[in-house]
Amino acid sequence: MNCLFKSKRTLSAALCGLAFLTGCSDVNLDANENVIVEELSSSSHKQNTGSSGQIEAESSSELNEAESSSSEKSKIESSTDSIPETIGTSSSSEISLQDYSSSSNDVVSSSSGELVAEKLYDMEVRSYQYEFGGLDFLQLRIVNNEEFILDSVELRLYAKAKPEEIKVVAGVDDKIGSCPLLVDADICQAYDENGFNQPCLGKNGEYADASMRGAMREVVPLPLTNSYDPVTGESVWVITVPLASAVINSKSSMRLDVGFSYGIYANDWCETLRQPAKKRFLIPNEKDWSWMPHSADVDGIDYVGMPQEDKDYGDVADVPINPYVAVYRNNVRIWGNPPKL
């Protein structure tokens, strides 16, 4: 099917992709920029370093519970040529004071002044990697043990990468840009408490695939503040996986298979070319936070690391819980452990 693009500029080629977009997201990226600073507020993500020669970044995301819709905006303007070791005010956590929505009823302030979730949800995420068609895929099994429906949810994966492996590059002079790594939904199935499955749906019973895939094509990976390693040239990047309008019913679960691929970038949208992403996730993995092994002594919870299995392994066997995939609802962390920097 043909993709419908709302363009501010004339494209040099017609793109093939999705017919559904969930909102329009403005992302202006300078090809020489190497850092994006992420900051969350109750209704948007915004940053401003406030000095010349540094970057100004803005990302907004609103998740409406009543209509189960999802949209995100990112806007970046930069004049920097290298990644400074420190940007912003982040201290020892993923994003200091901005991890959680300050207007949420589930948020309190800790003695250190950082906002923390008062209660994490009764849920879990299990994950494993597989390869299909030369591309890296993840199967994510999200289990909702709560007594209420989970909506407005996004998963956040964390991985180390160099900018050329992961950062979206806008086209110059009306030329198409590139997406070194984009996330695309491949399979989404909802399972009820009795194990019966059906396609993922929204609150009103509508199919959620189109909204989910559209949201994933619009979101861009962002590096965490203070994560740049001058020795390797890598930063820790957030790879967001929005569930958009899809909901997970009480005492139910979702199987979500996502693929990582290389694609083109135009009109605030990544379109996959079904080629391997520039960033590959090798198994065993010793450096990517959501993939690598962890010990309780260092990171709080033991984890053996992301296994690699056959595509449908999770349907017939148990997969380890992965506590290093973080889950957010309306920008409030409800489960999982992001990196501590």
Pairing of strands 332-335, 45-46: unpaired
Report the distance separating Cα 3 and Cα 59, nearest Å. 24
Domain 45-335: CATH superfamily, name plus number: Endoglucanase-like (2.60.40.710)
pLDDT at 267: 87
3-class DSSP state for residue 332?
strand
Amino acid at 4: L
Domain ranges of the chain: 45-335
How many Cβ atoms from other residues are within 10 Å of residue 175's Cβ?
A: 12
Helix (H, G, I), strand (E, B) or coil at 40: strand
**pLDDT score for 230:** 97
> How would DSSP label each residue in 148-205?
S-B-SEEEEEEEEE-HHHH--B--STT--EEEEEEEEEEEEEEE-TTS-EEE-B-TTS
Which pLDDT value is given to residue 102? 29
pLDDT along the chain (341 residues), means of 10: 37 36 37 35 34 32 36 35 28 33 34 46 96 96 97 98 97 91 97 95 96 96 97 98 98 98 94 97 94 96 95 85 96 94 77
Distance CA 145, CA 193 (A): 10
Using alpha carbons only, give the angle 25, 30, 33 rounded to the nearest 5 degrees: 115
